[in-house]
Chain A
Amino acid sequence: MSMALGILARFGAMLVLLLVNGVMLIYMLRKVLGHLHLRIGPNRVGPFGLLQTTNDVIKLLTKEDLRPASADAWLFNIAPFLIFVPSFMAYIPLVFGPTLAVTSLDTGLLLAFALTSLVPLGVLMAGWASNSKWSLIGGMRAAGQQIAYEVPLLLSALGPVMMAGSMDPVKIVAAQSGVWLGFIPRWFVLPQLLAFVVYAISSQAETQQTPFDMSEAESELITGFANEYGGMRFGFMYLAEFSNTFVVSAIGTMLFFGGWQLPWVATPAWLAPFVFIAKTYTGIFVMMWARGSLPRFRVDQMLSFCWKVLIPVSLAWVVVWACVQRLWPVVAMAVSR
């Protein structure tokens, strides 16, 4: 297959995955929240309400593209793309199967985190460019929150990276094959439990879900930074939010839960993407579960929790694990002698 065709095929696959993901995740959110709240969720449009999101997307596409007259036109128009495009590009390092990945990069994980860290820039831009006080507060909060929580997100990922010895997601997943002591799958979540907890909390905050959704606190700021956006511009930002959720959950699956591998049995290549997506969606389900049950933190409580608790803990864990990993062969050899 020629190189250009290959690239086009991968790009197309990523786009399809992004859109289908968005549709499925929005439907899943509404259904999960519905059942948590003693109601049903969408059930009218299509069987079990499955066509609800497609109808919503069509509605958003056909809406008028409004912009407040006093908003900064350039930045107002660009901000949704700055939120959406990095989330889309973050699909690049994801590994769906033993041979199914867009590309294999030595610094794939770093690329993913670098791309998701562009999103707060877009949020801040959207909040400021709307020229509305409520959007401004939302944008400022997002800037503070998302930028702060990227640090523990990255630090907590260092543990599995040290265990696998590489930042390439393909190698990280490959390092989790096999079993310990004959029956425990060699998934990094067990030795890295603390890092996993920090990663889970940080990813909930990165994707702005309750209890960390201060920047779009619905009962305070209505939609926060996205107040003045309507139609498909809002649709892009909404889609990007779900795409982000998928990306952080997928990275968590790859780092801690063995990626596309089934425990104890060898995974056939055709089954691998389904296993990966199933694991990712389970992680997303847990995030939505927390979202529907908990109240939200206040901004200063959330930020002090990040700076004073999560970052020291994850830093300490990195140091501890580095020592353990260095000294373990020495200790093992000393013990076996």
Chain B
Amino acid sequence: MPATQPADILRACGIPFEASTEALGDVVRLEAAKVADTLAALYESGYDFLVDLFATDTGERIEVTWHVRAFAEHADLYLKALVDYDAAAPSVWHIYPAALYPEREAAELLGMTFTGHPNPKRLLTADGAEPFLRKSVLIRTAKEVRRPS
């Protein structure tokens, strides 16, 4: 599916976005608050499979990526949105139940929340663990942990 078609859908919804084609593929950047509506519209028009959902710490904010796929045409699309630290993004579990686990993981490992998630517990780490995928949490050797300089 050419990059214009998701763009058409988004323009029809009246959602402000930026589309580009990069080494990654077709990328659409938009506001975090609008992601749920966008994905609902995309789901209706054929992007029926959530391949992956993850977040990256850009240094200033958290960038969440939704990787969806239109199965019939083997077409991949990436949605990206920027979220402040400890802020919220909408949960899309009601469109793609595949998002249930990745949202919990992104929430605990980067320190943010997904509003509307039915089971917002920690997934991979125990209580008291830092959101260590943030760049501010450094990897330390065992020696550094035992004897901080």
Is there a direct interface between A and B, measured as CB atoms under 8 Å apart in the complex?
no
